[in-house]
Structure formats: C-alpha cells, structure tokens
Chains A and B, each alone.
Chain A
Amino acid sequence: MASGTSVNGTSIGNGASMNGHHGFSIERLQGLVQRGRVHSSIYTDPAIFELEMTQIFYRSWVYIGHASEVAAPGDFRLRTIGRQPVILVRGNDGVVRVLMNRCRHRGAVVCETESGREKVFRCWFHGWTYDNTGKLLSVTAPEGYGEDFSVEEHSLTPAPRVEMYRDFVFASLSPQGPALVDYLARATSMIDLLVDASPHRQIDVSAGCHKTVYNGNWKLVGMDGYHPNFVHASVIAMWQRKADSGMGATHRSDPFDGKAATYVRDLGNGHAMLDLRQHRLDHYPDYAKFLASTPGGKEYMEAMFARDDEERARTLLAIAGDPHVGVYPNMQLIHNQIRIINPISPTQTEVIMFPVLLKGVSPEINALRLRQHESFYGPASSGSPDDGEIFERVQRGMLAQVEPWIDISRGLSREFVDSDGSIVANVTDEVPQRAQMRQWLALMTGENSSSAAAA
C-alpha cells in the first residue's frame, strides 16, 4: 500500500495530516487483530508504535500519579504521557494539575528535578518564571516584547483534561472524550478494593518506587494467569517451602494451581483483572492468623470489622489491597503496588512500581508490605526480573516472522458473561489479552470505545 494512502478512504485520528497516519487504514488495523490471534507486527513495527502514541497515549485517559504524592502546595513529580514530559503539581491554591513540562518561550523543560517542592519553576534558558499553578510570572528584559505580547497567554500548557478518581490522577491530551468515571466504569470498584483496605480509606504513595526497564514492547506487560507456574516456578517453590515467604503470605496457597477458585475478568474498555477474591476468602482464616501475628494486625482487623459489614471487611482484608487489575493503557494495581507502564520505543518499556502504604495501620504492617513487595518486584527481586527476561525472549522470538501470529485464543470456548456484563473464565484463560486487544483496536482505529465488555 502506498504510504499515507488509506485503503478505504478513512484516515486515522484527528490531526492525521500533521503526524501522518503511518499508512494504516482501519481495515489494515482490523486485519492485525483477529478472533483469538493478533499479528506480531503490532509489537515490533515502529510505525505502529508511533500510531499508538497518537491514538492511545495522546487521546485516552492515562494514569499520572496519586494525589498523596503531591500532598502539600508546591509538591511536584515529573511524569510522562507516552513520550511527553509533564509535571504533576499541587499549586499554592491546593489544586492538583498536570502541566506540560515545556517552556512557552523556546521549549526547554522548566523542571528537571524528579520531585520536590517549589513555589516557582524557572526556565534557565532565558530566565522566564512560572508559579506552581503554571502561570507565567515574568519574562526577563520585558522591554524587548511589544504591546501585543501577552504574559497571561504564555502560561505553562495544562493537559487538556485532568480528573481524579479517589485521588488517582488521570490526564488526557484530548479535549474530548468520556468522563473518567465512565471510562474506568467497572474498574472503579476494583480501585475501591485497594483504597478501602485502609481503615481511613486513604492510601499513601510516598514510599519511593522501583524503576525497571526491559527490552520489549509495552503491551507484553499483561494480566496473565497462565504464566506463573512457569515464569515464577522458582517463587512458587519458595512459597511451598515457607508459607509466609514474600507474597506467599498474602496468597496463602498457590492461586494458579488449577484447583484454586481464581478467574480472569474482562471489565470493559481494556481493563481486566485476575479475580483472586474467592480464593483469598477461602484462605482468609489462615491469612487472619498471619495478620494477627504482625504488630498492629489485630487492631487493623478490629477497625475494619467495626467500620464495614462482615462480608466487606473480610473481603478487603483478604484481598489486602490487591485487586490485581490492569487499567488500560498504563496502570496496574497488583499486590502492594501501583504500577505505571511507560512505553519508550517499540522494543523498550519502563515499568515504575510504587508500593502503597495504608493509612491507619501500624508501621509494622506497612513495613511488611514493603518487604513483601521487594521480595517479588523490582530489579533485584525474585519475580519481576523473570517476567522481564521472558518478555525479552518474546521480543526476540517475534523476529521470526514466517508464521507471524500470536495466539490468544485460550478459553474462548469456555468464557461466559457474568451478571454484571463482565467476561469471566478460568484464571489461565486469555480473556485479559483479548480485552486489551479489543480496546487497542478501538482506540487505534478511532472507533467509539464505549463498548462494554459484553458488547
């Protein structure tokens, strides 16, 4: 196909004339995502990656950070939306903003420190200063600008849309689109499972982060209940040896052993989870014993049962703030962490892992959460480096393209629609992969992605 020419006359995306649509017509994209299989070029092709930037990361809601990371006026954190640098900052007016980190003069970043507290951001190219709400305070040597130069019109550019759900800050670079709660839809109650695990219904994302990187495509970070017995065989062996070792203390028994009451769930809009709730409830008495042996554990349980009805309290304690959910495209809440997936290139991805502390529990419980996290996650841990290693093997394997298809058909014959409209199957089934690819295709083709899972 001639580059820049669409087969069916439909060009992809707004502003396509600026960035080009990389030669991808809707029909061609649809051909890459078929029933039960996807074409591996979506993981390897630089043109697809460019289109993902414009169609997914620069249009959809993207998770930026948690309001507790910018607790006080002036607090800021540097983040990215796709490849675009932004500042998550709480202004002196108390409002949390997402500002493009780009001087309105000639484009330098105005903030180069990863985090801190500032009243003013100063661009050191020519000295323009902005306050922490983004407002341009002054230009240097202003006499050089004529009367038609407006200081007011040169404030730092805000992300077109910023919304929060329970202090989770999301931004969209598209001025139009669904409201955040409508986009999150069924995923909101999974975010609640984490936040409500705190007796104060407040989490604290101030414990630093693990920054990891692997040489593979960002879409390889899935939500996969088929891989643990193989990729994490070494860790499952550790749990079998010592029941309280690392994350094993929370699972109590292997959730992937084929007997556990564990499922996958397609929540719609690309959000998907490993639904471990029933399994954790089945093992709650054992977990409660473990929790009670931790200083402050008994008080934590008492506080939860005093606050909520028995069933809810039990579920929240058993789940331990781990909804095991992926919110499309770049956030996951897994075990004790919030995770951000940052695509760097078609073949490189950063995964930033923020352990979550619960407000209202003992320091010992929060320290335990950190140690559990470190056991499985981070560059020196027992879990995520093996995931990264396998993702790199996939990326290398996909270079063999005589047979280019990636099979994601597992469970197609046994999945079913639950009463709430979500699609459910066995925990090892590829329901999340299909959910993500359906949303990928909807966003890439610019088709309305309001489709519920069952649609």
Chain B
Amino acid sequence: MALDNLELLKAVEQFLYSEAEYMDSHQYDRWFELWDEQALYWVPCNADEADPNSNVALIYENRDKIEDRLFRLKGRHAHAQNPRSRLMRVVSNVRIAQADAGKVVVTSQFVLGEVRLDRQTVWIGRSQHTLLQTANGFKIREKKVLLLNNDSPMGNLTFLI
C-alpha cells in the first residue's frame, strides 16, 4: 500500500472511531452531523442482499427519517431506551474498498457490547460506509450495516448501530 493510501486509511479509521464514540455515548446531534444531505442508512433484515424495494429491512432511512429517529430518541418517551443501553464497541478490520476523487468506500467490522437492565448482549456486524471528502471532513453518504444475526429473533435494537 502506498504511503498516501496509508494516510487515507488512518484518517478513515479515526473517523470511524469518532462515529463509534458518538453512537456509544448517545451523542445524537454530533452523530447526525456526520451525515451527508443525501444520506442513506440501511440495515438489511433476513439476508444481507435483500432488495429494499421488495423486502423489509431493519432500517432503510433517508436523512429525513434518520432525523425522525433521533428526534424520538432525544425525547422522554422512547421507553425502550429508558434506561439507555450502555454501549461499547470495537471497530476493526478497516479496509478501503474503493477510493475515487472525493469518495471513499470503506468496510469494517464491529463487536458491540450492550448492557441494559442487567442483561448483556453482544452484537456483531460488518459495516460499509460510503464517505464523501468535504471541506468539513468526511460525510457519510451511505452506511450499510450487515448484522451477523439479521435473520434471528431480536430484542431491542433501538440504540445506534
């Protein structure tokens, strides 16, 4: 890998770590600032490649709907997040899949520990971010999260992944 690519990789990793921190600590506004105007937040259900036009997803949201989600979480009546999930995730295996002028596609994996009401749950998945390089740093154009258990019964997934 050429040195400038290593620098790009470092920068992307730092971005992903910041995103992870905002998600872990429920800093909804700071997390929302990471998104591009034409955002797409996609968490498939049942199968990784299920076509969202004809298949249900866990999350398939544009910027407007992401904002709805955060509006709800910031209010006092999102009972499934009262108390909030305590979260800690490790993001690793970061790889640049594609780097064009101003646009980077990066894949990574995460292990996320969640503790809520004395129950500990482990969530595992792979993320693919499409990041735009802007004057204000990277912005997320598209984020697709492939949960390892996306075909299994799940409890409460109302925190940010």
Contact = CB atoms under 8 A, between A and B. Distances in A.
Interface of A: 114, 206-215, 231, 233-235, 237-238, 241-242, 245-246, 350, 352, 355, 357, 363, 366-367, 370-371, 373-375, 378-382, 385-386, 388-390, 392
29 contacts: A208-B45, A208-B46, A208-B47, A208-B55, A209-B46, A212-B153, A231-B79, A233-B77, A234-B77, A234-B78, A235-B72, A238-B68, A238-B72, A242-B68, A363-B53, A363-B54, A366-B54, A370-B53, A374-B57, A374-B60, A379-B154, A380-B59, A380-B161, A382-B72, A385-B80, A385-B158, A386-B79, A389-B82, A392-B117
Given A211-B152, A237-B71, A374-B59, 5 more contacts: A208-B46, A370-B54, A370-B60, A380-B59, A382-B69
A237 B77 contact: yes
Nearest to A241: B71
Contact of B45 (A233, A366, A378): A378
A114 B152 CA distance: 11
Contacts of A382: 68-69, 72, 78
Contact of A210 (B58, B60, B82): B58
- Residue with the greatest number of chain B CB neighbours at <10 A, chosen from A213, A363, A380: A380
A43 B157 CA distance: 25
Given A208-B46, A386-B79, A380 B55 contact: no
Nearest to A246: B68
Interface residues of B, number: 35
Contacts of B60: 370-371, 374
B37 interface: no
Interface in B133-156: 151-156
Contact of B56 (A214, A378, A385, A389): A378
Interface in B49-66: 50, 52-60, 65
Interface in B20-52: 43, 45-47, 50, 52
A214 B155 contact: yes
The 8 closest A-B pairs by CB, nearest first: A385-B80, A233-B77, A379-B157, A234-B77, A379-B154, A211-B153, A208-B46, A213-B153
B57 to A, nearest CB: 6
Contacts of A231: 79
Interface of B: 43, 45-47, 50, 52-60, 65, 68-69, 71-72, 75, 77-80, 82, 117, 151-158, 161
Contacts of A357: 54
A242 B64 CA distance: 10
Contacts of B45: 208-210, 378
Contact of B156 (A237, A355, A366, A389): A389
A210 B152 CA distance: 9
B89 to A, nearest CB: 16
B77 A370 contact: no
A214 B58 CA distance: 17
A151 B57 CA distance: 45
Nearest to A378: B58
Contacts of A381: 158
Among B43, B82, B158, B161: residue with most chain A CB under 10 A: B158
A375 B72 CA distance: 11
A350 B153 contact: yes
A237 B73 CA distance: 12
Nearest to B80: A385
Contacts of B77: 233-234, 237
A336 B74 CA distance: 27
Nearest to A344: B153
A350 B155 CA distance: 9
Given A238-B72, A388-B80, A388-B156, A374 B58 contact: yes
Contacts of A245: 68
Nearest to B82: A389
A245 B155 CA distance: 24
B72 A234 contact: yes
Contacts of B117: 392
A379 B85 CA distance: 14
A211 B75 CA distance: 26
Contacts of A214: 155
A367 B59 CA distance: 13
B81 to A, nearest CB: 9
A231 B80 CA distance: 10
Contacts of B161: 380
Nearest to B119: A215
Contacts of B58: 210, 374, 378-380
B54 A380 contact: no
Contacts of B47: 208
Contacts of A375: 65, 68
Nearest to A115: B46
Contacts of B43: 380
Contacts of B56: 207-210, 355, 370, 373-374, 378
A363 B55 CA distance: 11
Contacts of A212: 153-155
A215 B156 CA distance: 11
Contacts of B157: 379-380, 385
